[in-house]
Amino acid sequence: MSNYQNAQSIDQPLVIAGRTFQSRLITGTGGATDLALLEQALVASGTEMTTVALRRLDPRGDGAAVYQLIEKLGLQVLPNTAACFSAREAITTAQLAREALETNWIKLEVIADEKTLLPDVVQTLEAARELVKQGFIVMAYTNDDPVVARQLEDAGVAAVMPLGAPIGTGLGVLNPHNIATIVARASVPIVLDAGLGTASDAALAMELGCSAVLLATAVNRAQHPVVMAESFRHAVIAGRLAALGGRVPKRRDALASSSLEGRAYL
Amino acid sequence: MSNYQNAQSIDQPLVIAGRTFQSRLITGTGGATDLALLEQALVASGTEMTTVALRRLDPRGDGAAVYQLIEKLGLQVLPNTAACFSAREAITTAQLAREALETNWIKLEVIADEKTLLPDVVQTLEAARELVKQGFIVMAYTNDDPVVARQLEDAGVAAVMPLGAPIGTGLGVLNPHNIATIVARASVPIVLDAGLGTASDAALAMELGCSAVLLATAVNRAQHPVVMAESFRHAVIAGRLAALGGRVPKRRDALASSSLEGRAYL
Amino acid sequence: MSNYQNAQSIDQPLVIAGRTFQSRLITGTGGATDLALLEQALVASGTEMTTVALRRLDPRGDGAAVYQLIEKLGLQVLPNTAACFSAREAITTAQLAREALETNWIKLEVIADEKTLLPDVVQTLEAARELVKQGFIVMAYTNDDPVVARQLEDAGVAAVMPLGAPIGTGLGVLNPHNIATIVARASVPIVLDAGLGTASDAALAMELGCSAVLLATAVNRAQHPVVMAESFRHAVIAGRLAALGGRVPKRRDALASSSLEGRAYL
Amino acid sequence: MSNYQNAQSIDQPLVIAGRTFQSRLITGTGGATDLALLEQALVASGTEMTTVALRRLDPRGDGAAVYQLIEKLGLQVLPNTAACFSAREAITTAQLAREALETNWIKLEVIADEKTLLPDVVQTLEAARELVKQGFIVMAYTNDDPVVARQLEDAGVAAVMPLGAPIGTGLGVLNPHNIATIVARASVPIVLDAGLGTASDAALAMELGCSAVLLATAVNRAQHPVVMAESFRHAVIAGRLAALGGRVPKRRDALASSSLEGRAYL
């Protein structure tokens, strides 16, 4: 009987570009201040994939320890093009990442300016088309515009990653209506990326139908990164199950949990 | 170093009236339509205490199977005075519950009318004072007014249980400001009771500082009660850890997760 | 044809206890720092009634100038029992106000504590019953609990005045659901009182069905009190008309303002 | 003394492309079902400029009566490119409008699809650049992305018109943070366009710093269009004055409107 289903029977693992993930939380390395702490947070989050800003962490230079940590933990590395301000810079950075890290996965970020850190969607679309042509698995960071999301999908990206709020703000999902619209029209995974601050934000993102959540600041810059990593691990599971569990409808008026008459209920 | 703390090191179990609970989720039986399903949902929720409406489920009549289930699962039974419309009715019901179930714990509910199912706080205060005098451990369901919450605490209740929204509406926490104010002034546990619909609601309640969450409809009337029970179990843990983890502050403007210059971060 | 109705044809003036008001904005004197500025703000707000805290402004002492101003402007004075912490204090203050100001109108406020300035609803109910018995026209400040609102109405008050948010916070209407529930069940005017900060707050209160709005801090402590008074005057009219005008329903999906085919529209 | 300023002294009229407007409300003709009703609504709204969809209302065909009405009322006509799905279509439509209506003002809309009616920002940017080059005064409808808003400004548009919510939804301003960010960075007028449903939405848009509001559905499809037109007229004034009036700050804790001790206030 269908309503006996439990978490194990009801869900499927996340699949991006043919690769299967048990965890729907992608934890970034950005904002981490201490390697040992980063390690504990990554483990506590349960993530299987972590992002690294290639332009900030040189695999052959002072960033080497981070890449070694990722390898030691058995995580998939997802290089990103953070700090790129044009399609051309992002494409070059992706190519460098592919060479240095031997992965054709790339989180595409093209930022418009240093003040807002918001994506430049015109440049992002251009870069996405080119990177797909060059054989990259592109996960594209973007705004929360459902039209741009669709255009990225048409460009062949493996996942669309709309923001909840500007990077580092911790404001949560500012426009749930847009995220729900993006999800309803998508045929690739939608990964909520950027702006989350706390557990309820991540749960909400999953309830809106996102396939996964990506965050970095919210863990790495929290007062207790390991605790927040555990928190988000549970939050993403909670939100995913709520999306599948068929929540009760919102009602304007109250409804007794049982009635004295009908005894329709126990 | 403090920021290495994890969930185990940072939290304390919930204590109500001297009794310790590992789980911060109290799952009610109200709204359940099927005993086997109720059993699975109770187990999946991880709860250690469950509420039963004495006026609806007669321990010596057709409600016996529910009480046997609770005993079998080793859960603490928390009888409630649902469907009582005056202090007098609630006091009588509490006394019957104590006799029938051999517990002096009572969830006090005095409802104003069948349409809104909102609490009558004047009657609730009166009943609380009397029940405390009679030696009950009173967990008092109330509105979200911080003054009433304080008055209930002054009356000697073991826990104050403000609503998030009217019973059965699934609207979530309608007034987070009030809940935060109640928590900030409380010296007994605050248990968010009623109105929650989904995981992010429960996580938010815990982030606001509640000590626990009580729900029934949101699990028992969901499309897949067992899945929602698992969801809320994770949501409450997530929210609790977020309350302890020191979330990042909300910022109006963006903040790069790392910068190219300072290299203050990894 | 009904949809040709305009503001003049569609609305009725506000009536409280048999007295008719053209303005649905009640502007208080609290927080004013300068008599000339208060005068301009009162005029700009278009109010016909203003509140004065009898315990703070002695009509025979240093408050005399304020009462003279109110008389000069032809406004109805509505004394309030601000700074009363019990039914007894409030009743005494109301009696003093009646004697000093020759009005049996009273805005009843019984505050629980100086920190939250939230109403003590138990004391408020007690005072309301007694003051009605003594022949007062009682406008009762209260929390946003629909049950308490109904109990005040049953006690015979002329208007129920739920808060939007705690006094002086400027947080707006924290729980629109409660305000709408209060309005739906009321047969006396509901006046939103306390907590408003800006024009959209006042418009929302009226859209929820409130009969009027009372505010003081939001005008008198604004940077430009006269400008904010004008703002609120328009906001209350706007909100009232919106409540009557039959707003378009909220839709999940877009709707073209006209279509190329059907030409059902111009 | 600065805090004596009133509405007349504090505000400046709206200027778009060198033309001055006393009203900050632009009311469209879309959705109107009756010419006499449209006339009354336009007058009641106080607008000085109204939009017309050239592709839907042929000035030389069955749309002639609408253009005659606009002329009779002395309103500026603002043709729009509604129902254009590419830059090319929009440019052609703008050219036809210029020829037919003898105005070089154009409200640029390039819609991505009929289902969401959301703008295609890539096509919109392309069309904006071309139309500016061709000497048009371009008011550009767009999403609420601050980066796109800036790019449109850089393209030379006379006003940027971000949506509050998708056309016809009546959902209000879904992302106030984005609108505030757009305003903070803009040097051309920001006109909130699309998605508003009621007075408080329009007041909020103005409080966020928008220079004007454009709406059509919210008036023309309301139950009583004339009443809603009056409502929005007041709402826009209210919101504008609130933006200028220096509202009280939001406070977490209560603040007495006056105190018994200090007597700093009246």
Q: Above 60 in pLDDT, residue C262? A: no
Q: What is the pLDDT of residue C61?
A: 84
Residue A260: both structure tokens together: 């004295």
Question: Which residues of chain A register pLDDT less than 70?
Answer: 1-3, 255-266
C193 Cβ neighbours under 8 A, 6+ residues apart? C141, C161, C162, C163, C164, C213, C214, C215
Which residues on chain D are in Cβ contact (under 8 Å) with C207?
198-200
Please name the amino acid found at residue D176. P
Which residues on chain D are in Cβ contact (under 8 Å) with C264?
33
Q: Above 80 in pLDDT, residue C263? A: no
Within 161-190 of D, beta carbons closer than 8 Å to A belong to 165, 171, 174-175, 177-178, 181
Average pLDDT over residues C131-151: 98
D160 vs C58, higher pLDDT = D160
Average pLDDT over residues D93-115: 95
Residue A216 in marked binding region: yes
C-alpha to C-alpha distances, A22 to A13, A109, A236, nearest whole angstrom: 5, 25, 12
Q: Above 70 in pLDDT, residue B242? A: yes
B6 vs A189, higher pLDDT = A189
Which residues on chain B are in Cβ contact (under 8 Å) with A31?
257-258, 265
Contact call for B218 and A247, based on CB within 8 A: yes
Lowest-pLDDT range of C57-66, C189-198, C229-238:
C57-66
Buried b (16+ CB within 10 A) or exposed e, B193-226: bbbbbbbbbbbbbbbbbbbbbbbbbbbbbbebbb
Contact call for D258 and C30, based on CB within 8 A: yes
According to DSSP, the residues that pair with D224 across neighbouring strands are none
- Separation in Å, CA of A5 to nearest CA in chain D: 35
- Per CATH, the number for A21-245 is 3.20.20.70
Average pLDDT over residues B7-15: 86
Q: Which of A84, A177, A63 is nearest to A126 (CA)?
A: A84
Phi, psi of D36 (to 5 degrees): -65, -40
> Strand runs (DSSP E) across C121-241, as ranges?
137-142, 159-162, 191-193, 212-215
According to DSSP, the residues that pair with B192 across neighbouring strands are B213
Is the CB of D218 inside 8 Å of chain C's CB atoms? yes
Is the CB of A203 inside 8 Å of chain B's CB atoms? yes
Q: What's the CA gap between D261 and B164, in Å, rounded?
A: 37
According to DSSP, the residues that pair with C107 across neighbouring strands are C80, C139
- Separation in Å, CA of B228 to nearest CA in chain C: 25
Q: What is the ipTM of this complex?
A: 0.92
Q: Compute the CA torsion angle C88, C92, C94, C96 (nearest 10 deg).
A: -170
Which CATH entry fits the domain spanning B23-245: 2.40.50.140, 3.40.50.300, 3.40.800.20, 3.20.20.70? 3.20.20.70
Average pLDDT over residues D233-244: 97
- The percentage of residues in chain D with a pLDDT greater than 90, rounded to a whole number, is 82
Average pLDDT over residues C65-75: 94
Closest CB from C113, C120, C147 relative to B118: C147
Contact (CB, 8 A) for B166 and A206:
no
Q: What is the pLDDT of residue A4?
A: 76
B184-217: per-residue pLDDT in tens?
999 999 999 999 999 999 999 999 999 999 999 9
Buried b (16+ CB within 10 A) or exposed e, D205-241: bbbbbbbbbbbbbbbbbbebbbbbbbbbbbbbbbbbb
Q: Which of C116, C55, C57, C122 is nearest to C86 (CA)?
A: C122
Burial of D8 (0-12, 13-18, 19+ CB in 10 A): exposed
Average pLDDT over residues B95-99: 94
Q: Which of B243, B155, B139 is nearest to B193 (CA)?
A: B139
Closest CB from D247, D254, D260 relative to C198: D247
Q: What is the pLDDT of residue A9?
A: 82
Q: What's the CA gap between D173 and A175, in Å, rounded?
A: 10
**Fold of domain D22-244:** TIM Barrel (3.20.20)
Q: What's the CA gap between D266 and C221, in Å, rounded?
A: 12
Q: What's the CA gap between C239 and D44, in Å, rounded?
A: 16
Q: What is the pLDDT of residue C60?
A: 84
Q: What is the pLDDT of residue C1?
A: 45
Model confidence at B259, pLDDT cuts 50, 70, 90, reads very low
Contact call for D258 and C53, based on CB within 8 A: yes
Q: Which of A165, A152, A235 is nearest to A194 (CA)?
A: A165
Q: Above 80 in pLDDT, residue D259? A: no
Contact call for A146 and D174, based on CB within 8 A: no
Domain boundaries along the sequence of chain D: 22-244
- Residues written for chain A: 266
Q: Above 60 in pLDDT, residue B128? A: yes
Which of C120, C147, C173 best tests the B interface by mutation, with the highest count of B CBs <10 A?
C147
- Per CATH, the number for C2-245 is 3.20.20.70
Q: HSE on the CB side for D187, CA within 13 Å?
A: 5
